[in-house]
Copies of this chain bind each other. A is one copy, B any other.
Amino acid sequence: MKIAVVAPSCTLKPEAAEMALAIAAARGDCTLAIHDQCFLSEGHFAGPDAARLAALREVMADGSYDAVWFARGGYGSNRIAEAAAADLPPAARSKTYMGYSDSGFLLAAFDRAGLKVAHGPLVQDGLRQGGDAALHRALDWLVRRDPSTLEPGLEQGRRALAFNLTVLSSLLGTSIEPDFSNADLLIEDVAEHDYRIDRTMFHVVGSAAVRKCRRVRLGRMSDIPDNDPPFGHGPETIVPYWCGSRGVDFGGAADIGHDAANKVVPFTLSSN
Contact = CB atoms under 8 A, between A and B. Distances in A.
29 contacts: A41-B229, A42-B232, A43-B229, A43-B232, A43-B233, A44-B194, A44-B195, A44-B229, A44-B230, A44-B231, A75-B195, A75-B199, A79-B198, A79-B202, A169-B169, A169-B203, A170-B199, A170-B203, A171-B203, A172-B173, A172-B203, A173-B203, A173-B206, A173-B207, A173-B209, A174-B202, A174-B206, A174-B207, A175-B206
The size bracket of the interface on A is: 20 to 34
A264 B198 CA distance: 29
Contacts of A174: 202-203, 206-207
Interface in A186-237: 194-195, 198-200, 202-203, 206-209, 227, 229-233
A61 to B, nearest CB: 24
Interface in A172-187: 172-175
A78 interface: yes
Chain A interface helix/strand/loop/mixed: loop
B43 A231 contact: yes
A234 to B, nearest CB: 11
Interface of A: 41-44, 75-76, 78-79, 169-175, 194-195, 198-200, 202-203, 206-209, 227, 229-233
Candidate in A42, A203, A233 with the most chain B CB atoms within 10 angstroms? A203
Contacts of A230: 43-44
